[in-house]
Amino acid sequence: MANNNDWKSRLGMVYSTNPDFVFDDMETDEAETLPVSKQKLRVSIERKGRGGKTVTLVKGFIGKDDDLKALAKTLKTKCGVGGAVKDDEVVIQGDLCDKVIGLLKTLGYLDVK
């Protein structure tokens, strides 16, 4: 059970003399993950800012971070390459655009471009 008066959650808070003040910890709830068939993913190739290395980007995923990480792990495993999840997009090492699109369609993602 979380205590609403936990001092650790208020570190860095400035003192308030307002007796009606309620501390807001500004934690936002993650968006619920849309069903696979409703996701609109965009797959692209990028080289800029990556030291000349080519990467495949998967953008447009709407949902929880854990679900995005699971999708990234599946794509990396099936492609046999490395990658990461950064800024709400999946980064797959290499020029694997066609393979990633095919994998996403077999996983049930219908709107993939």
Between the two ends of the chain, the Cα-to-Cα distance in Å is 45
* pLDDT the model gives residue 18: 79
* pLDDT the model gives residue 3: 53
Domain ranges of the chain: 30-112
**Cα distance between residue 107 and residue 102, in whole Å:** 9
CATH architecture observed for domain 30-112: 2-Layer Sandwich (3.30)
* pLDDT the model gives residue 19: 81
**The tokens of 90 are what?**
């999946």
DSSP one-letter code for 27: P
* pLDDT averages per 10-residue partition of the chain, 113 residues: 60 73 66 85 91 92 92 95 93 95 92 84
* pLDDT the model gives residue 1: 46
Single pTM value for the model: 0.72
